[in-house]
């Protein structure tokens, strides 16, 4: 048995295949076995993923739309914490997360919550435009009141001077 082992080792050495190459081969095989196990787990989850993708495709959502939606969320993630008028919203996103990192699920939840709250960007712009017009009207009314007050004040001073 030892002779067979020594003979096999000498055969390998003549092919310039020593212990170093044998260890490398072992690591490669081990890595392949790990990948096979990982791929098996993916295949087990494929039933759910396949069904979900099929439902999306049936509803007219294609691969480009899925990629686009993912890009939209990534862009939202970049800007999500840069500007928040309400710091409580920002705090709710990073609640329990000391590093300030936000998970994908938290980003999706925040994105959908904002979409529900504002009803879409066009509605939010329309709403903000209406508020702006209301504020402009109030400013105009206040300017008129100011002018009327100044006129009354000037008249009072004039009457006091008589």
Element (H, E) at 23: helix 19-58
The pLDDT > 90 percentage for the chain reads: 24
Cα–Cα distance measured from residue 19 to residue 9, given in angstroms and rounded to the nearest whole number: 9
Q: Specify the pLDDT at position 76.
A: 80
Is the pLDDT at 82 greater than 80, yes or no?
no
**Is pLDDT of 90 > 50?**
no
Nearest to 107 by CA among 77, 70, 72: 77
- Between 96 and 125, the more confident residue is 125
Write the DSSP string, 125-142: HHHHHHHHHHHHHHHHHH
Give the list of residues 6+ apart from residue 17 with CB closer than 8 angstroms, or none.
Answer: none
| Cβ atoms of residues 93 and 81 within 8 Å | yes
Give the CA distances from residue 89 to residues 80, 86, 160, in Å, rounded to whole numbers and listed in that order.
10, 6, 57
Alpha helix positions (H), 59-86: 63-80
The average pLDDT across 77-105 equals 57
Q: Is the pTM of this model over 0.85?
A: no
- Does the CA dihedral 43-45-49-51 come out positive or negative? positive
- Count how many residues are written for the chain: 162
Indicate whether 88 pLDDT > 80: no
pLDDT in tens, 36-52: 888 888 877 777 777 88
């Amino acid at each position: 048995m030892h002779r067979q082992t020594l003979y096999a080792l000498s055969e390998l050495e003549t092919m310039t295949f020593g212990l170093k190459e044998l260890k490398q081969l072992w690591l490669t095989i081990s890595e392949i076995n790990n990948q096979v196990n990982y791929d098996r787990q993916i295949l087990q989850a494929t039933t759910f993923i396949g069904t979900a993708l099929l439902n999306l495709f049936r509803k007219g959502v294609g691969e480009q739309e899925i990629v686009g939606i993912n890009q939209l969320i990534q862009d939202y993630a970049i800007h999500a914490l840069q500007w928040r008028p309400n710091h409580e919203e920002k705090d709710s996103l990073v609640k329990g997360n000391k590093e300030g990192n936000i998970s994908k699920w938290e980003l999706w939840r925040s994105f959908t919550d904002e979409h529900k709250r504002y009803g879409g960007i066009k509605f939010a712009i329309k709403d903000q435009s209406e508020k702006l017009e209301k504020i402009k009207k109030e400013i105009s009314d206040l300017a008129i009141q100011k002018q009327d007050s100044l006129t009354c004040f000037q008249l009072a001073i004039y009457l006091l001077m008589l």
